[in-house]
Structure 1
Amino acid sequence: MADMECPTVMNNLITFLSSLLQRVAESNDLNPRFHPQKISAFHGLTRPTISIQSYLERIFKYANCSPSCYVVAYVYLDRFTQQQPALSINSFNVHRLLITGVMIAAKFMDDLYYNNAYFAKVGGISTTEMNFLEVDFLFGLGFQLNVNPTTFHTYCSYLQREMLLLQPPLDHHLTSSSSSSSSSLPSITTKLLHYEDDHQQQEVAAV
Structure 2
Amino acid sequence: IRADRGQKSFKLTLDEFLRKRGASTIVSRGKKMKAQNAALFASIEKRYGVPAGPLIAIWGMETGFGSFMGKEHTLSAVATLSFDCRRTEYFTDQFMAALKLVERGDLSINAKGAAHGEIGQTQFLPKNVLKYGVDGDGNGHVDMVGSRADALASTANFLRGHGWSAGAGYQPGEANYGAIQGWNAAKVYQQAIALMGAQIDGVSQ
Scaled by the length of structure 1, the TM-score of the pair is: 0.27
Query: Which one has a larger percent helix, Structure 1 or Structure 2?
Result: 1
